[in-house]
Amino acid sequence: MVNRLKVIAAAVMAVAIALPAGAAQAEPTPATSPATTCDATLTTPVYHGKVPTPKSVLGFDLGEREVTTAESDTLLTAIDRASDRVTSGTLATSAEGRALKYAIVGTPRNLRNLRAIEASIKLLRNPLTPAPAARVLARNTPAILWVAGNVHGGEESGTDAALKTLYDLAGRDDCAAGRILDNAVVVILPTQNPDGREADTRRNAYAFDMNRDWFARTQPETDGKIELMRKYPPQLFIDAHEMGGTEYFFPPNADPVYHDIAEPTVDWINNTYGAAMIGEFTRRGIPFFNRDVYDMFYMGYGDTVPTTGFNAAGMTFEKGNASPIAARTFEQWLTQWVSLSAAAAKKTEILTTWHAMYADALKQGLEGRLEPNKVYNPGNEVITQVPDRKVRHYFLRADDPAKKAETDLVVRRLQRMDVQVYKLARPLTVKDFKAYGRPEARTTLPRGTYWIPLAQGQKHWIQGMLNEDTYTPFPYFYDVTAWSLPLLGNVSGGSSGQVLLPAATPVQPVAAPSARLTTPRRVGVLQMAGAAQNAGESSGWLRHRLDRDWKLPYEVLVPADVAAGKLGDVDVLLVPDGPANAAATALGEAGRTALKDWVGRGGRYVGWSGGAQLAALTGVSGVTLAEPSSDVPGSLLRTTVAGGPLSEGVGSSVMQFYAYDLVMRAADPSHVVASYPAADSPDWFLSGFALGAGELGGTAAVVDEPVGSGHAVLFAAEPNFRAFTDGTAKIVANAITSDLPATRARALVPVPDASRAAAAIPDRESPIRLTVPTADGDKVRAALNGFGATWAEQAATGGAVRFTVANPGGLGLHEHPWAGRLPGALRTAGVSPLAVVLPQ
């Protein structure tokens, strides 16, 4: 430790020489005045005239109309060429070949000293840097502040506003701009999703919602962005969105908030930036709201990942898209400018606190202390507390060659967020080892096991990525509630609270594992109704997996192709999620017959979710399907896996992602490949939130049903969720490549009741789900009637009632006319919901 401190002291001295006192300050500008007399937004802008105006470059002013991706790039490049305050680059290339352009804005001196600033920031991020040295660095180092827009392609105004922020920082000489430049380096990423912007779609070219992809980094747009963030770690990250209506949302956020987030970041979000924007919008009379809708829980958002992974104030901003582009651009710019100004005014304090959070994370890891659950909004109560168990270490087993690729991917994802990973140099006996989903037991871990101690600066991120459970604090869900990397990858591991210092060696950076598949079988993908969100996403995730991971050729088919006889060109038909009743109708009698005959002659039908329902509807399968009565908004449940070709490399169990999926039972129990154990079994394990999940006990998660000379391999739920459920995706890979036995007993002839039961399940597109005590039912009905909603009701677990509210067109929360106001309406009505799931 002494030697490491000497190294750090020498590094601080070297940075001090490279970045002398005052390097964070811009050269004086004529209009600079004391901070006490300089208002961030009321100061009259003074432009020096050396930077071309947006109108001179584009032919129109920002806010007259939305810029195109090409226009955004053109303006960014023009400003860079004209200004010595700007440098720019490309952080990634999209699936369709578009560049993701970014700009870094700072004083000329700071831009010349970027490498020294990087070194200084790295030292501030090091928990072993002594506090006095950190204070010196904080005084003499600019903060790094990020502004990013347009992660959802159809939410355009964040880009236009970010360009105005870029122009103002490059072109203004007044005190308000000077204060930001004096104290910060600003990284501006106008559009995070150029393909989606050009197509005017929320998602990217592979139908990924990239505001859900942050921790997994499956998309190049996300991956390149986070790599740049590792180089320039933010203390503030603004993620500019749009939503329905005309109001503006900015933090404070709704509950739930993930438990292991450093508390000072929440204070910054609520009391530095949130308070500043509340004051500015109140002064101007601009309608806004906060707290009710957008939570800070799932580790895939543009606020949670900067906050948990970088100790930044990660903030989601949402402007109502019913306002004209001029208003949208102005209000987005206003929140950006106010936030940048607030950060600049407290730069030294922010950087000092930023370092202290890393030092405290190390201390928490040494103590084995996990942060407790909290709620931040009046009237809410914690429903689940983080267990009072010390966690000092996580371990990942590396002794199963069949899971090497999945294990390597987990380690790589940790390393690429600056987590230190080690390998045991000799066997280690751990007295309190808690394997995932199992009780503590004395265990000897073999040599080569990966060891991830929590005693490091990235302790919060480690807990976020390797947790056994997320311990959901509040039953409100805007997205999923489980995402642990080992559980997603079906990687064996666990934790310990013991004080340990094992013999171990640092792990060198792990290369991206190859997952290429080879098979002589011709593969087809049946695309259901393309406009449906679940159909578009599920097939997009599959296309991504086939193209980029498995590198497996395939042909996309639509129902009309099946009816036209094109199944003769494929051996394996992959049928992802989608509206099954609509697909069965689109197939017509000819298509349904062709599909069943093709399987009977030896074709292999591999379907999931709506694809499984379509198999029952068309008579391909005799499975029975039913709607769930449980509330599982997106959690991971252990399934028991039978032996056979589909389980090759999977093992005896795998975690299945489950979110209000159909409950499946096989016509013949011998056809079950994976099933949920009984809820009272020691094998039962759930990570995430659930009410009534015990109804799944004993039901099938995967079946392999012989049909004539062919097979129907069906998954009740999505096995390739967001292309990061690698454990269950391996079963899909096996279903494509494996030789399935032809000697098994023929499946029962599908009974008409199975098809009728499947047909009785409606096609629902992103419904709103609301479960409340029966006593609150009338209050909920009154609230829903007030919105003009239509809904179905069913009894739920524990004497509750479930309201499934229709969402015509599958609108996301950003587009929905009133879903965002539902939590406030319920609170006003005095309803204490058991679970609320809003559309994404």
Residue 515 CA: distances (Å) to CA of 172, 518, 652, 740: 51, 10, 21, 21
**Active site residue ranges:** 318
DSSP state at residue 19: S
pLDDT of residue 741: 86
Q: State the DSSP string of 735-797.
A: HHHS---S-SPPPPPPPHHHHHHHHTS----S-EEEEEEGGGHHHHHHHHHHTT--EEEEEET
pLDDT of residue 32: 43
194-239: per-residue pLDDT in tens?
999 999 999 999 999 999 999 999 999 999 999 999 999 999 999 9
pLDDT of residue 647: 97
Paired residues of 240 in beta bridges: 149, 317
Neighbours of 100 (CB within 10 A): 24
C-alpha–C-alpha distance, residues 722 and 539, integer Å: 10
DSSP state at residue 678: P
Q: What is the mean pLDDT of residues 739-766?
A: 72
C-alpha–C-alpha distance, residues 292 and 268, integer Å: 19
- Cα radius of gyration (the chain): 27
C-alpha–C-alpha distance, residues 202 and 255, integer Å: 24
186-201: per-residue pLDDT in tens?
999 999 999 999 999 9
Residue 224 CA: distances (Å) to CA of 203, 246, 413, 561: 17, 33, 13, 38
Tokens at residue 822, please? 């539902």
pLDDT of residue 73: 98
Paired residues of 200 in beta bridges: none
pLDDT of residue 808: 83
Q: State the DSSP string of 278-334.
A: HHHHHHHT--EE-SSS--B-STTSTTHHHHHHH--EEEEEEEETTS-HHHHHHHHHH
Which residue segments constitute the domains of the chain, with CATH numbers given? Answer: 2-21+82-362 (3.40.630.10), 393-506 (no CATH), 523-627+658-675+699-759 (3.40.50), 768-837 (3.30.70.240)
Report whether pLDDT(26) > 50: no
Burial 609-618 (b: 16+ CB within 10 A, else e): bbbbbbbbbb
Q: ∠ CA(176), CA(323), CA(812), 5° rounding?
A: 110
Report whether pLDDT(545) > 60: yes
C-alpha–C-alpha distance, residues 422 and 445, integer Å: 13
Asked if residue 66 lies in contact with residue 163, where contact means CB atoms within 8 angstroms, the answer is no
Report whether pLDDT(744) > 80: no
826 Cβ partners below 8 Å, 6+ apart? 770, 779, 780, 783, 833, 836
337-395: per-residue pLDDT in tens?
999 999 999 999 999 999 999 999 999 999 999 999 999 998 899 999 999 999 999 99
The model's confidence at residue 60, banded by pLDDT at 50, 70 and 90, is very high
295-314: per-residue pLDDT in tens?
999 999 999 999 999 999 99
Tokens at residue 261, please? 């987030």
DSSP state at residue 620: S
Neighbours of 25 (CB within 10 A): 16
According to the 3-state scheme, what is the secondary structure of 187-201?
EEECCCCHHHHHHCC
pLDDT of residue 5: 55
C-alpha–C-alpha distance, residues 293 and 291, integer Å: 6
Task: Report residue 260: phi and psi, to 5°.
Answer: -95, 60
Q: What is the mean pLDDT of residues 110-115?
A: 98
Tokens at residue 315, please? 């903030």
Lowest-confidence region among 68-72, 422-426, 682-686, 816-820: 816-820
239-282: per-residue pLDDT in tens?
999 999 999 999 999 999 999 999 999 999 999 999 999 999 99
Tokens at residue 38, please? 């300089």
C-alpha–C-alpha distance, residues 138 and 351, integer Å: 5
Report whether pLDDT(6) > 60: no
